[in-house]
Structure 1
């Protein structure tokens, strides 16, 4: 018989507590967080601590406490992100929640020192999000910065890269210096095959926030430097970013045309190569449009070109600057019906026009998360991140499980 201590959400607790009882094991301790389990594990007389692979239930302090108490720690991961989180903490004993007790039983049969870390291709771990929009300043950069900030606030490792070869603006929007553009420097290193995650740490700037900090690779200060961002270099840099962080957010330029391509020189540099490469390499594409008659017309025409360029099916439409003054009464309904009728676009994310919030963010060189945390625009962008980019939403504060209450009454 094995004595278990648990720290996990209610649904997982019900599942594993029931299975443990069915297999003749004992649950000696149930907790609701990693700090509580860390403080009680020494006196719990447990053989194994079974925890969910989330920041609420698994921390480096808990790992140290289990090591001191001689308790084997096993993490239960419900997603690839949770598996990465546990691995990054140096934990080898990880089981898939979907596999259930069978996977846990197989792991328990091994010696703790025989367990091997899960084998995964490191280059495929990080996700890439490309933020694109047609010309006319629909708010690509503002949306890209806000997405990066929201992901960082959720505890992910995030990098924001300015890939715009026509008008890079991430650095001034965040109050950063761009004399030595980070993304161009990364591309140069990629061209000499010397780009590593350590180099990205060195050339990247850090946006510091009490809510969630993230890396920034600033863009080229002068548009004339666009030849430095060739397709091959940009592709190599994006691939390296996958190994560097959990999410790479790419702020791209509007044009996806191959207007520099000529038949007499197939290897000629192309100014739009960076944007095209970024969109094609992305796992998720966020298409941003402005919610006014002109902006909608531009978006619907350019959206066709985008769909011909992307390689992913995950394309989310964001209509920015929703307001009565530009769209008439019921602007949400007007914009939604227009997109559905003329573009076949359903379920767009609608971001309200919060001029004071975004102006305050730019003036202070901060993100909307820091400058206007109660902004209605911020709430819409957070909904985009939670519903489209990170569907594994953090569990709320768990309550005592039904199975636990039944045992307590029995």
Structure 2
């Protein structure tokens, strides 16, 4: 039986509701507008959304959100004009609002799991080619802001309508669960690695293990980290690599919070088969399509970042590394702190392009205090704006030319009105 969300006119809803309930389906929402459905998709988790084909209940944004989450969208058209509009948007499953209610019940119960958009396979293939699948957030010792950055990246990617997983792969102890107020008695990523080691990790197990961080229009799955540093042998290199490979196939973006250490001295041990403390960090960096290297904007933090960056380029493709400098402030660097940071990076590492994040302790404290993301706790903060700008510029695929043209046409019509 399916979980259904309705956005229909009351008269139309009355005709179809009774038959669906009698057939054993569960009604999780009954609203009047598409925006209400969109805001509740992550919380209600419907299998099928049934909407009217009118503009008040059907919108391209709702289609995109349902496509991203794998939710079927069925429209009931009350006229030929509404049916044509639904088809123009690319909706595949459109029924007559005056038709037989049994037809909708049969479609819900027996219909194939088709994409809502007729062009969805082409769109997905194009998007996957334009975006990084695995994003690893690395930083040297000294709490440069790895966890806060990883959480913010996952939140902004989810808010853009993508299916996102946030992974805590720090072998020295997880921090994502307490920051987001999640239970961490059973480390989710370690469980995923154990299943991956036995070849039993699949979509069903991923959904069972993951914890959902729910937020209006920015929800994502979380695989929590180790509850103590003594459990690091559970995150072996091969297990972590296999777990990330399975997650890459399930999610559009996998954001990984890695450990800080890049030392390989442990390879000198007399037992070549013994587990390695930093194996999870190396596996995550090797699997990453994009590496976010973050450091603090003070003399000590910049020194550590530059030394770590020199080691990082020996492990991954330098073109895949994005340097991010956190907590840029005049109190630690003097006048024109931004220019001093850029000059230091250019002089000692030849880095001409770096993302600088402003010092915004109030926003970061609000997020920690309320166990929320920066996007939810301080949506207008300069720190959140800088992180969102980085996501838009470096992680998200460029918008399609057709959409840009449509937006420009809309602006012209609005200005003319």
Q: TM-score, normalised by structure 2?
A: 0.71
RMSD: 3.6
Aligned to 2:167: 161
1:260–1:269 CA contact under 8 A, matched in 2: no
Aligned to 1:360: 366
2:294–2:325 CA contact under 8 A, matched in 1: yes
**For 1:250-281, what per-residue CA distance to the aligned partner results, in whole angstroms no more than 9, with x for missing partners?**
00011122222137433221000000110110
Report 1:287-306 matches (<5 A): 287-306=293-312
2:131–2:397 CA contact under 8 A, matched in 1: no
Classify the secondary structure of the residue corresponding to 1:261: helix
Flag the 1:125–1:193 CA change in 2: closer, same or farther, 3 A.
farther
Aligned to 1:234: 240
The partner residue of 1:208 within 210, 214, 238 is 214
Classify the secondary structure of the residue corresponding to 1:333: helix
Does 1:283 find its partner at 2:309? Answer: no
Q: TM-score, normalised by structure 1?
A: 0.72
Aligned to 2:50: none
**For 1:364-409, what per-residue CA distance to the aligned partner results, in whole angstroms no more than 9, with x for missing partners?**
110000000001000000011000000324856725489x9xxxxx
Flag the 1:129–1:358 CA change in 2: closer, same or farther, 3 A.
same
Per-residue deviation, 1:174? 0.5
Does 1:398 find its partner at 2:407? Answer: yes
Flag the 1:263–1:377 CA change in 2: closer, same or farther, 3 A.
same
2: CA distance between counterparts of 1:200 and 1:191?
14
1:386–1:393 CA contact under 8 A, matched in 2: no
2:77–2:95 CA contact under 8 A, matched in 1: no
The partner residue of 1:331 within 316, 327, 337 is 337
Flag the 1:364–1:295 CA change in 2: closer, same or farther, 3 A.
same
Flag the 1:346–1:391 CA change in 2: closer, same or farther, 3 A.
farther
Aligned to 2:80: 43
2:294–2:326 CA contact under 8 A, matched in 1: yes
User: How many aligned residue pairs are there?
Assistant: 330
Classify the secondary structure of the residue corresponding to 2:307: helix
Deviates more, 1:39-48 or 1:276-285: 39-48
Q: Return structure 1 stretches of 4+ with deviation > 6 angstroms.
A: 35-41, 45-50
Does 1:319 find its partner at 2:325? Answer: yes
Q: Unmatched 5+ residue regions in structure 1?
A: 1-31, 52-56, 70-86, 98-117, 405-410
Q: Unmatched 5+ residue regions in structure 2?
A: 1-57, 64-74, 98-112
Report 1:3-402 matches (<5 A): 34=60, 42-44=79-81, 57=89, 62-64=91-93, 66=94, 68=96, 89-93=115-119, 127-262=133-268, 264-311=270-317, 313-393=319-399, 395=403, 398-400=407-409
2:78–2:96 CA contact under 8 A, matched in 1: no
1:280–1:312 CA contact under 8 A, matched in 2: no
**For 1:61-117, what per-residue CA distance to the aligned partner results, in whole angstroms no more than 9, with x for missing partners?**
x433x4559xxxxxxxxxxxxxxxxx98354545869xxxxxxxxxxxxxxxxxxxx
Q: Structure 1 or 2: larger helix share?
A: 2
Classify the secondary structure of the residue corresponding to 1:313: helix
